[in-house]
Amino acid sequence: MSIQLKEIVVFAICFVGISVKAQKIWTLKGCLDTALINNITINQGYLNSQIARINLIQSKAAQLPNLYLNDSHSLNSGFSLDPYTNQYTSQNISSNNLSVISSLNLYNGHVLLYTIKQNKILYEAGLLDIDKLKVDVTLNVLAAYMQVLMDYEAIGVTKEQVNASALQVEQTQKLLQFGKIAELSLLQIQTQLASDKLLQINAENQLQLDKLTLLQLMEMPANSSFEIQQLTTFSYIPFFTAMPNEINRAALGFMPQIKSASLRVDAANANTKIAKCLGVPSLVLSGGLKTGYSSLRSNYTTDSFTQLKTIGYLKGDVSQPVTAIIPIVTTSKQFQSLTNQLKNNFGEFLTLTLSVPIFNRYLARNCISIAKINVQSAELNEQQVKNDLRKTVEIVYASQISAGKKLIAINEQLDLEERTYLDMEKKYAFGAVGATDFLIEKNNLNKASLAFIQAKYDYALKTKMVDFYLGKPLNY
């Protein structure tokens, strides 16, 4: 081997070692955290909660006075009324109105307070709905994680079966050489080896599919190097510490859908109070500043003086004029500047408006009726949520009991099958029993081993679900 080739081999070995060392081993907590962060529905729930929070902020801001700046410009031609001289004219008029207006609701039956309360409740309920989504994702990831753990152990059992069958093929070949058994027995053992290899391949394929399911729940792309932390110790002795009513009582205290349903009843009651305010008088205070200008607005200046003028002739004789001092008045027109008009036209106003609903076409009555129906609907929904939780707890508890009983039975069966197989294996090694009887017992042991693994993890999953509804953390 050349020096260059040796360097390449050493580099490859080091690279593989580094890659294996850097490979992440996923724990249940890591899988749960990733799934909760990446879940699209949960993230959409967060966006909806932001909208609810903005609605709450806006309802609080509705208690403040508003402030508007209004500006309008008009061009009139033909016969029209000058808005500032209040005179009709046929000239073209250019006018502008500028105002700053503010209003404040002094009283409207506490609509704003009830609206704030309702929006606050809906915001809190929305956050609890997100927690409910997290619960669903958590339970799904837990089930998928346990399935992968079961697949790992099932593969280990199938590998042991393949190794045992391969060893039996070697022993059978030796027995055939010494003429103690027929060639048919060797073919049967070899067939069993092939079946065990197929069983191992199926278990490995199932592991890849279940890993893919777990990755998809985590919203991650398929990854052949994905590995989870396998258990070194696992207690499978069934024990039952809580009854359904105890589990349900504990779950009622912290499950988010229960609190969310209760809050939505409160929100419906707040909406009823809002509807009742539709028949209550409202009082609004408004005020503002205004000014403007007109293109025809002018200033007129008047001057007066006296002048000696001939007013006639004595007896018509032009040589005898009659004179008098006559007063003369002159008027000059000057257009007002924009600055002066804005100053001279400045004004203030303050308005107090009382609105008393006398007949609003049964709007208030119908809204109150609908609001009361919505309260009843929310109360029924709350009861339905409680019933659903109770049913789920009952099913989980019954499943745990059934899985525990099944695990105990299969464990006893496996113990008997192992002892029977060991006895049968010894007899087969000495040629005391045929290959057919031996293989029947071996298959029985294989089935019992796989059934035990499935029952063990099924019971573990059901126990974890019971722990979850009891409020215990999901850790391995």
pLDDT of residue 330: 62
Instruction: Report the sign of the C-alpha dihedral through residues 175, 178, 181, 182, in that order.
Output: positive
Evaluate if residue 88 carries a pLDDT over 80.
no
Element containing residue 107 per DSSP (H, E): strand 93-107
Higher pLDDT, 193 or 18: 193
- β 227-228/25-26 pair status: parallel
Compute the mean pLDDT over every residue in the chain, rounded to the nearest whole number. 85
Evaluate if residue 261 carries a pLDDT over 80.
yes
pLDDT of residue 224: 85
Q: What's the average model confidence in pLDDT over 76-92?
A: 67
Is CATH 1.20.1600.10 correct for 141-280+357-476?
Answer: yes
Strand partners, 293: 96
Contact (CB, 8 A) for 278 and 317: no
Task: List, for residues 97-115, the tens digit of each pLDDT value.
Answer: 889 999 999 998 899 999 9
Q: CA 155 to CA 168: how far, in whole Å?
A: 20
pLDDT of residue 19: 41
* This prediction's pTM: 0.80
Long-range contacts of 366-373 (CB under 8 A, 24+ apart): 367/275, 367/278, 368/272, 368/275, 368/276, 368/278, 370/275, 371/268, 371/271, 371/272, 371/274, 371/275, 372/272
Instruction: Report the sign of the C-alpha dihedral through residues 213, 219, 223, 228, in that order.
Output: negative
Q: What's the average model confidence in pLDDT over 279-283?
A: 92
pLDDT of residue 328: 72
pLDDT of residue 34: 96
Share of the chain above pLDDT 70, in %: 86
pLDDT of residue 95: 78
Task: List, for residues 340-357, the tens digit of each pLDDT value.
Answer: 778 888 889 999 999 999
Higher pLDDT, 18 or 372: 372
Instruction: Classify 171 as helix, strand or coil.
Output: helix
Instruction: Classify 90 as helix, strand or coil.
Output: coil
DSSP-assigned letters across all residues of 300-336? EEEEEEEEEEEEEEETTEEEEEEEEEEEEEEEEEEEP
Assign 83 a pLDDT band (cuts: 50, 70, 90).
low
Assign 475 a pLDDT band (cuts: 50, 70, 90).
low
Evaluate if residue 10 carries a pLDDT over 50.
no
CA dist 245 → 154, 252, 470 (Å): 36, 10, 11
Task: List, for residues 361-406, the tens digit of each pLDDT value.
Answer: 899 999 999 999 999 999 999 999 999 999 999 999 999 999 999 9
